[in-house]
Structure 1
Amino acid sequence: MTHNTPLSPRPLRHLSHVHRRVLTTAQLRSHGVSANEIAEQSRPGGPWQQLLPGVILLHPGPATSEERLHGALLFAARESTPGVPAQPTPDSPHRSVYPEAMITGLAALTLHGFSSTPPLLSLDHVDVLVPRLRRLRSTSYVRVIRTSALPAPEPVTGLPVAPVPRALADAVAELADAAAVRRLLTEAVRGRHCEPAAVVRELTQAKLLSRPHVVDAVDSLVAEGRALAEDRLYRMVHEYGLPDPVWNVDLRLPGGPHLGGLDAYWPDHAVGVELDTRAPHQGHRQDEDAQWSEYARKREHLERLGITVVHITPQKLRDSMEQQAAVVRTALMAAGDRDPAAYVVVLPR
């Protein structure tokens, strides 16, 4: 046997095509390797080693970060039916290779490209998300996290990875460092990995908003999300050639009550834009509903005065800016066909 190959030259030569040198004992047996041979190859000092219970590393050296991740998924995945490919290939999607398992937590965030998370090899453990009813215990470097509803995984470098909001919630659940939590949430928004509202929903479902350091970080997150949405609104106006509005204003009736604030307003057209950056801070649906009711009351009041209010969410600005610009342009063009609006006082907000 040559020293630069980790595989036995006996009946195991047909395993030389295996791309990742991590297989379960069941997969090895499907390749014709007996249980005795697996035990022999994996003995101390042998050419293989047991990476995790039922998971074999087909070389004697330390596992790479990729091998650790694939090993964790093989350990946590529901046992495949016969005939399912043992390794990912272009014709074999990851979901069939690692059924009911995906990487989450800090490892998932690192895979998503976060810079504030540790390198994969420096992580003490890899979090793997599985269905709640799976009979599986954390072991070695694998920490099992259960959920009643698995999200749809996102493929990253051939691995099934939890979406950023879910991975953030699983990471934050284990962090007591307020600065670390704030860095993660801030990077999620600044790096445009996800919208603040999606993160807050996951933190709410995970019952993490009872922790003061998480609530403080969420407040910063929502402020960060609003600033980013305002920047996108500014870019939309200029990139799509809309007339310049007045920005961030309060409207009042002359000598009368305050009518509400708008993020952009075109006085000559009586058209305004309001960003909906609602997020349930304390996890109470009624709070969100009350905030929405306030939006609706303000909009109805302004429209009774002849002022058109275009309601835009940050996600729509991110995903369909051109479409939102068309909606605003249509409202501006329609202004000439409406009765003149009531006179209002426009004040900086």
Structure 2
Amino acid sequence: MTQNTPASRCHFRLPSDVRQRVLSAEQLKAHGVSPARAAAQCLAGGPWQQPLPGVYVLHPGPPTGEERLRSALLYVGRRRGAPAQAGAARATGYGEAMVTGLAALALYGFSAAPPVGSLDRIDVLVPRTRRLRSARYVHVMRTSELPRPEQLGGLPVAPVARALADAAAGLGDASAVRRLLTEAVRVGHCEPAAVVRELSRAKLLGRPHVVNAVDSLLAEGRALAESRLYEMVRTYDLPEPLWNVDLRLPGGPHLGGVDAYWPGEAVAVALENRTPRHGTLDDGRRQDDGENGRGHDAEWSADTAEREHLERLGITVVHLTPRRLRDAQEHQAAVVRTALMAAADREPAAYVVILPR
């Protein structure tokens, strides 16, 4: 058979758990197909193709978007001369690799992300210790902090916040970055603080187009949290409060702003916005996204001091996070209702001036 002669078809039984006709050279070898035989199947007019080194698509037509993703993961997951992997890594051949960037966002269903099949580049996240070059449409991204992946359709995918940061790193279009970040919050994929933390980790907060996108992200997150607060009050028949007011002592200093205030009961609700502003997170410092612990940035410290001052004046401040309003709205309504009912048993609060903010 000459080099231009189409190869004869190679028949072997695929295991039942292989849903896509995409296999690595190692997987083919395990099924009795030698590297030489696999290469012969990819000659001109042959039934297979080799989109990436060591990876084969077992049909002649254009690979689908999912097949391109599986090919990319198999390419970066291969380890020549390494001991056999165990568990899921051995079953898939992907190792610790995961899809990130725009391809991951497309898998999460982002309308602002192009379909996988139209992407010229697929970003794949691997441990920093891997010595592997990018190839063709696969862009290898190394990291010393590998996140725990989500599983979407049998594919390991980076968490949304990480995928957003990796996508933003490769985009120079401010409007495209802004659309992705605001969609992440509006649809409920993740909280703003998690996104800003990942952008800070990637040292992207100094880029002007990212800074502008973060402004939109924070505004979207704030508006969404306020909308959930309005919904909670009305859904669970809480008394209507005064919305978005500043509190001051008569003739005295500003005490702070609150998102809802019941003057008769001296109860305030304050949305905890621990999302760091541009540049307030050191790249190596981790900060909680609004559920466990306290941030130590100056903005959080100032907010804490204001609210502690209100409480010393006899005003009960109920702290609500955007995540709690999203995931446990009924419970948060019960917390507010309890605070309102307990007002009758407390000493009267100091008189304060209420101003719109």
Query: CA, structure 1 residues 347+83, in 2 after alignment: closer, same or farther (shift >3 Å)?
Result: closer
Please give the alpha-carbon distance, in whole angstroms, between the structure 1 residues aligned to 2:215 and 2:355. Answer: 26
Q: Is the 8 A contact 2:102 2:164 kept in 1?
A: yes
Classify the secondary structure of the residue corresponding to 2:298.
Answer: helix
**1:233-244 superposed matches below 5 A:** 233-244=229-240
Contact residue 250 and residue 259 of structure 1 kept, 8 A? yes
Structure 2: state its 5+ residue gaps. Answer: 1-6, 283-294
Counting aligned pairs with the same residue, the percent is: 66
For each residue in 1:145-190, what CA deviation from the matched residue of structure 2 results, as whole angstroms up to 9, or x when unmatched?
1111111111112211111110000000011111111111111111
Q: Is the 8 A contact 1:280 1:288 kept in 2?
A: no
| Distance verdict in 2 for CA 1:303–1:214, change over 3 Å | same
AA aligned opposite 1:39: A
Which residue of 2 is the match for residue 310 of structure 1? 318
Give the distance between the partners of 2:91 and 2:157, measured in 1 at CA.
10
Counterpart check, 1:48 vs 2:56: no
Contact residue 197 and residue 281 of structure 2 kept, 8 A: no
Aligned to 2:156: 160
**How far apart are 1:290 and its partner, in Å?**
1.1
Amino acid of the structure 2 residue aligned with 1:15: L
RMSD over equivalenced CA pairs, Å:
2.1
Q: Which residue is 2:337 aligned to?
A: 329
Distance 1:269 1:96, change over 3 A: farther
Which one-letter code corresponds to 1:29 in the other structure? K
Task: Name the SS for the 2:179 alignment partner.
Answer: helix
Spell out, residue by residue over 1:174-231, the C-alpha distance to the aligned partner (whole angstroms, 9 max, x if none). 1111111111111111111111111000000000011111111101110110000000
Residue 67 (1) aligns with residue 89 (2) = no
2:31 is the alignment partner of 1:23? no
**1:14-40 deviation line (CA, Å, top 9, x unaligned):** 138542111000000001112221122
1:293-319 Cα shifts (integer Å, max 9, x gaps): 111111111111100111111112112
Which secondary structure state, in structure 2, belongs to the residue aligned with residue 259 of structure 1? Answer: strand
Question: Contact 2:132/2:140 (CA < 8 Å) preserved in 1?
Answer: yes
- Asked whether 1:220 is paired with 2:216, we answer yes
- 2 CA distance for matches of 1:316 and 1:285? 23
Deviation, 1:44, is: 2.3
Structure 1 counterpart SS, 2:354: strand
Aligned equivalents of 1:222, 1:261: Cα separation in 2: 18
State the TM-score, normalizing by the size of structure 2. 0.89
The corresponding residue for 1:270 is 266
| Runs of 4+ with >3 A deviation | 7-10, 78-85, 92-97, 285-288
Aligned residue for 1:133?
129
Whole-angstrom distance in 2 between the partners of 1:94 and 1:106? 26
Query: 1:1-150 maps to which residues of 2 (within 5 A)?
Result: 12-15=11-14, 17=16, 18-79=18-79, 82=84, 97-150=93-146
Match of 2:289 in 1: none
Shift of 1:143: 0.5
Task: Return 5+ residue gaps in structure 1 as ranges.
Answer: 1-6, 86-91
In structure 1, the residue matched to 2:353 is 345
